[in-house]
């Protein structure tokens, strides 16, 4: 049984580059998500068992929130220091990460759905494991 819990995200700095997406944590460290995200319309479902990170930018595309979905490895204190949020979902559960951005767990897969009638930022989904990473941007369908 894990002692990991939901953590509310803080606003972090974001830089969109031609090589990928840079997120600067509150503690000054940076994460770089490699490659130009593949665009998908409306929603995406990740492959089973992948680490899933959802980045929602504001309309300026220079800040946003980053949320880890079902991450059981990162200690609560580390997330709180960095500003990264976390949501833990059981199979079939869903949560609204941000107005208009819903995440669901479906048999070890994460589905992220965006309602652009509600949200006006950009939404990126990063899935990764020890074999590699893939990135997506959910666009209005």
Look up residue 104 and give its DSSP letter: E
For 129, phi then psi, to 5°, come to -155, -170
pLDDT on residue 49: 87
pLDDT on residue 3: 63
Residues in the chain predicted with pLDDT less than 70, given as ranges, are 1-3
For tokens 């893939």, the residue is 134
Task: Take residue 43 and report the two structure tokens written for it.
Answer: 């929603």
The pTM score is: 0.95
pLDDT on residue 6: 95
Judge: domain 11-139, CATH 2.40.128: no
């Amino acid at each position: 049984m894990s002692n990991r819990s939901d953590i509310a995200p803080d606003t972090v700095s974001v830089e969109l580059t031609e090589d990928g997406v840079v997120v600067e944590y509150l503690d000054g460290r940076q994460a770089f998500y490699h490659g130009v995200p593949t665009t998908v319309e409306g929603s995406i479902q990740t492959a089973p068992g992948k680490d899933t990170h959802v980045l929602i930018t504001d309309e300026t595309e220079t800040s946003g929130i980053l949320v880890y979905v079902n991450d059981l490895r990162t200690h609560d204190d580390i997330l709180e220091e960095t500003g990264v949020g976390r949501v833990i979902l059981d199979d079939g559960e869903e949560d609204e990460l941000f107005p208009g951005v819903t995440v669901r767990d479906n048999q070890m897969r994460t589905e992220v759905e965006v309602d652009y009638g509600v949200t006006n930022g950009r939404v990126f989904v990063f899935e990764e494991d020890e074999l590699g990473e893939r990135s997506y941007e959910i666009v209005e369908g």
